[in-house]
Amino acid sequence: MLPTTTQHLESHPVAEMYAEEYKAGQLSRREFLVRSTALGVSAAAAYSMIGLSPAMAGGHMVTPPMGGSLRIQMEVRALKDPRTYDWSQMANVSRGILEYLVESRADGSFAGVLLEGWEANEDASQYTLRVRQGVTFNNGDAFTAEDVAANFRGWCDATVEGNSMAARMGALVDPETQQAREGAIEVVDDYTVVITFPASDITLIAGIADYPAAVQHRDLIGTNVLDHGVGTGAYRVTDYEVGVSARLEKNPDHTYWGEAYLDEVTFIDLGQDPAAWFAGAEAGEFDMTYETVGEFVDLFSAIGWTQSEVVTAATVVIRPNQNNAPYDNVMVRKAIQLAVDPQVCLDLGINGQGIVAEHHHVCPIHPEYAELPPLTVDKDAAAAMLAEAGHADHVFEIVSIDDDYRRNTTDAVAAQMRDAGMTVERTVIPGSTFWNDWTTYPFSSTNWNHRELGVIVLNLAYRSGVAWNEFGYANPEFDALLDQANGIADADARREVMAQIQQILQDDAVTLQPYWRSLFRHYRDGVLNAEMHPKFEINIHNLGVEA
């Protein structure tokens, strides 16, 4: 059977309030599941609270037969300290060895993996984490609360370059020491850890479910799993060549606590060009895509592969970095925004497979999304504003990776800026080069994954000084409002603050963020549990093939 959780809470006062809001039509099912399970209510109990069958908590997964092998098309990138993972592909390989305390499921719910469950107090300022018993690392050591605490301390270490987990830990990090606050992480016994914030924080569970939160042995925090191979997962890496392939096999020397079905999994890197992916599928070189994009969605379906689609808050930003002139001038940034119609980016960038966004990186499917007045597109006004800023003759170089949707979206931006009379040069860089400096280009495009709450992505991307702030954005008023929003458990109340935050991001013209993506994956007949995940997650423990 698939790994399950036995979370301890069957109800919570705030979750009961959310259930009433759902029944009154004020919340979607996804919003309700995100909110209630983050507080510690089990997914099965959450479904019951809104009058649905608890069996739905298992999603669409089936129990596969044991054995078999699977080949997955996906970029194979260099691994490193998991806290500094900056792309989902890294975690999809290491997830066979390094597991997570919590997982985010496709329906929006959170479920325990290395945690059996958790309990949040009523104002979400304290979380009691229940560690799963009977789990061992593949070196024979027991997995205990001490490992959980060690990982939390490592996640809070803001002195580690590129450690985006420090942003996810929020107020657990002492701003003076850049380490975990004294007394914030308490080991109660071998299987209980209490996490205490100085004020409410509703983002903790979502943060530790994200892909840089892979759990390491307490003595190996900060290391690369390829250097030692120690983890709680069922698999081990036998071959790893960046840009080529990665092969994992079930570890015969480890008694895994759960179930894993496949004997081996190989990730095959066919580069950035989806035409190469399609050719590989037709040639029988792999069984499942990491994702399918643009016109190739229909092409994969046409050859008989199963299509899986999910609506998400995944997106692309085409952003100026404010540490570089002339992008430190807000009038220049606003001129760029005025010149670009998000609908054109949606149509030309991803073949219309999504919805228009509003340049503030908070999605309508986020519980706290606030509706703002419609955007204005005015190419004449854009040209006039650029001239008033004194940069009418500036040559804008926009950098993108050499792929499909990111390149096409960036091309659409460049074309519209030219239509407004701006001089634009396009630079297209191979992925092997682009990702080395993705946060530092003066003007470039980047994809961002789905996050369950709007405040989470804002903490990761726009807060002053955080590892993934590729915008060079620093606004104390924005940071203070984000602190306030992080502490408001009720999404309706949080929405009032979010309206101010979204407006600030628009007024400061921090980025072009033109659309929200529907994500697609294809797989051949006989592949089980391969549905697209909103955050691109692939857990090879759950995959299988028909006998």
Mean pLDDT, residues 177-188: 97
Is there a single domain that holds both residue 291 and residue 420? no
Residue of 60 and 7 predicted with greater confidence: 60
Is there a single domain that holds both residue 243 and residue 316? no
What pLDDT does residue 43 have?
A: 83
Burial class of residue 195 in the structure, from the number of CB atoms within 10 Å of its CB (0-12 exposed, 13-18 middle, 19+ buried): buried
Six-digit token pair at 153? 């301390």
pLDDT over threshold 80, residue 414: yes
In a domain, 77, yes or no: yes
In a domain, 8, yes or no: no
Is there a single domain that holds both residue 238 and residue 115? yes
Q: What are the pLDDT digits (tens) for 482-501?
A: 999 998 888 889 999 999 99
Distance CA 547, CA 542 (A): 15
pLDDT over threshold 50, residue 2: no
pLDDT over threshold 90, residue 33: no
Q: Which domain holds residue 169?
A: 65-305+533-547
Is there a single domain that holds both residue 285 and residue 427? no
Query: Which residue carries 């040559």 as its tokens?
Result: 395
pLDDT over threshold 50, residue 431: yes
What pLDDT does residue 497 have?
A: 97
Six-digit token pair at 79? 């691994």
Is there a single domain that holds both residue 389 and residue 279? no
Is there a single domain that holds both residue 440 and residue 348? yes
What pLDDT does residue 60 have?
A: 66
Q: What are the pLDDT digits (tens) for 99-130?
A: 999 999 888 889 999 999 999 998 889 999 99
DSSP 8-state symbol, 143 = P
Let me know: does 380 contact 47? Beta carbons within 8 Å.
no
Is there a single domain that holds both residue 538 and residue 494? no
What pLDDT does residue 56 have?
A: 61
What pLDDT does residue 44 have?
A: 85
CATH of the domain at 334: 3.10.105.10
User: Residue 375 half-sphere exposure, CB side, CA atoms within 13 Å?
Assistant: 27
Rounded to 5 degrees, what angle do the CA atoms 64, 67, 73 make? 85
CATH of the domain at 75: 3.40.190.10
What pLDDT does residue 1 have?
A: 34
* 265: β partners: 70, 248
Is there a single domain that holds both residue 124 and residue 269? yes
In a domain, 379, yes or no: yes
Is there a single domain that holds both residue 273 and residue 393? no
Q: Is beta strand 306-320 parallel, antiparallel or unpaired with respect to 515-523?
A: antiparallel
Query: Which residue carries 């037969």 as its tokens?
Result: 65
In a domain, 2, yes or no: no
The neighbour count for residue 454, using CB atoms within 10 Å, is 26
Q: What is the DSSP string of 205-265?
A: HHHHTSGGG----TT-TT--GGGT---SSSEEEEEEETTTEEEEEE-TT---SS----SEE
Mean pLDDT, residues 297-304: 97
Q: Is beta strand 110-112 parallel, antiparallel or unpaired with respect to 102-104?
A: antiparallel
In a domain, 523, yes or no: no
Is there a single domain that holds both residue 236 and residue 173? yes
In a domain, 267, yes or no: yes
| pLDDT tier for residue 59 given thresholds of 50, 70 and 90 | low
Judged by DSSP in three states, 308 sits in strand
Mean pLDDT, residues 30-39: 82
Distance CA 84, CA 221 (A): 12
pLDDT over threshold 50, residue 4: no
| pLDDT tier for residue 547 given thresholds of 50, 70 and 90 | confident
pLDDT over threshold 50, residue 5: no
What pLDDT does residue 42 have?
A: 83
Is there a single domain that holds both residue 372 and residue 482? yes
Which among 10, 195, 161, 2 has a CA at the least distance from the CA of 86?
161
Q: What are the pLDDT digits (tens) for 320-370?
A: 999 999 999 999 999 999 999 999 999 999 999 999 999 999 999 998 999
What pLDDT does residue 57 have?
A: 58
Distance CA 28, CA 74 (A): 32
Is there a single domain that holds both residue 181 and residue 258? yes
pLDDT over threshold 90, residue 3: no
How far apart, in Å, are the Cα atoms of 475 and each of 162, 331, 458, 462, 523? 21, 16, 12, 9, 44
In a domain, 164, yes or no: yes
Judged by DSSP in three states, 190 sits in coil
Mean pLDDT score across all residues of the chain: 93
What pLDDT does residue 307 have?
A: 97
The total domain count for the chain is 2
Bond from prior residue into 326 cis (ω within 30 degrees of 0)? yes
Intra-chain end-to-end CA distance of the chain, in Å: 16
Mean pLDDT, residues 195-202: 93
Let me know: does 510 contact 473? Beta carbons within 8 Å.
yes
User: Residue 156 half-sphere exposure, CB side, CA atoms within 13 Å?
Assistant: 24
H or E segment and range at residue 411: helix 405-419
| pLDDT tier for residue 432 given thresholds of 50, 70 and 90 | confident
pTM of the model: 0.89
pLDDT over threshold 60, residue 50: yes
Which region among 50-64, 104-118, 162-176, 305-319 has the lowest average model confidence (pLDDT)? 50-64
Backbone angles phi, psi at 115, to 5 degrees: -100, 135
What pLDDT does residue 7 have?
A: 46
In a domain, 223, yes or no: yes
User: Residue 7 half-sphere exposure, CB side, CA atoms within 13 Å?
Assistant: 30
